[in-house]
Amino acid sequence: MGAAPVTGSCLCGAVRYRVSGPLRPVIACHCRQCRKTSGHHVAATSAAREDIDIKGDLRWYRSSPTARRGFCPTCGSNLFWDGPGENLSIFAGTLDGPSGLAIAGHIYCADKGDYYEICDGAPRAPGADPALTTMAPTDAGREGKG
């Protein structure tokens, strides 16, 4: 829809990526694996795999029989979750600059940590919720962002 490509990277810059297609709204995942890997909970957008160009020494950790997680071996940043489905999840904190995105839902809320509350008004699911994780991308708020 004419939106400029979005870029992102790990903390040290050794892994960089560029997304040429639309991004899904951000979904927060409070599952145990996401809490362990991120140190809190994960907030991820996603995009079609063929629209994501990854450069650098990205490594993959096989976190379950059906999923793997992409990280930078130098600085340890977590960047991607790769599981079933057509999209690759991109951890929203690794995006460069303003994303124009917003959190649109929470999944695996039954597994969340006990030290925080989910205080925004976005929909919450106790476990997986395909209605949230396969939500259509939106270009709202993305045009004109530098």
Quickly count: other Cβ atoms within 10 Å of residue 73's Cβ: 13
Closest CB 14 distance from Zn ion, rounded Å: 4
Closest CB 142 distance from Zn ion, rounded Å: 25
Q: Are 89 and 69 in contact (CB under 8 A)?
A: no
Closest CB 141 distance from Zn ion, rounded Å: 25
When the beta carbons of 126 and 141 are compared against Zn ion, the nearer one is 126
Contacts of 86 (CB under 8 A, 6+ apart): 48, 49
Q: Are 8 and 73 in contact (CB under 8 A)?
A: no
Task: List contacts with Zn ion (CB under 5 A).
Answer: 10, 12, 14, 29, 31, 34, 72, 74-75
When the beta carbons of 75 and 131 are compared against Zn ion, the nearer one is 75
H/E element, 54: strand 52-56
When the beta carbons of 125 and 142 are compared against Zn ion, the nearer one is 125
